Amino acid sequence: MTKNRRSRIEIISNIIALARNGESEFKIREKAHLNSQQAKLYLEELSELGLIEMKHTKGKRIYITSQTGNKFLEQYNILRRFLI
């Protein structure tokens, strides 16, 4: 059985979607099936691009999808429907 590799855009959209309700780095890593190094790189990049925001809540870092991130997801999902 062959596993299909996810594209970079699929991983990015998955992370942004997971962060919609606010998630810790650990939960994002777990749900997106990333190792800690991959998650760190993606989270840093998405934060720098303004697609997610990091908040400190009760001593934890929580990642939340920004308005820009939500707009990105909407456009990505529209485009995806045309391509599939």
- Tens digits of residue pLDDT in 43-61: 999 999 999 999 998 889 9
> What percent of the chain lies above the pLDDT cut of 90?
86
The pTM score is 0.90
In a domain? residue 3: no
Q: What is the pLDDT of residues 10-38, one digit of tens each?
A: 999 999 999 999 999 999 999 999 999 99
In a domain? residue 57: yes
In a domain? residue 2: no
- Mean pLDDT across 1-14: 85
* CATH number of the domain within which 13 lies: 1.10.10.10
Q: Are 52 and 16 in contact (CB under 8 A)?
A: yes
Residues 63, 67, 71, 73: what is their CA dihedral angle, to the nearest 10 degrees? 10
In a domain? residue 1: no
| Exposed / middle / buried, residue 52 (Cβ in 10 Å: 0-12, 13-18, 19+) | buried
Query: What are the start-end ranges of the E strands in 1-84?
Result: 23-24, 52-57, 60-65
> How many DSSP H helices and E strands does the chain contain?
4, 3
How many distinct structural domains can be found in the chain? 1
Question: Which domain range does residue 64 map to?
Answer: 8-83
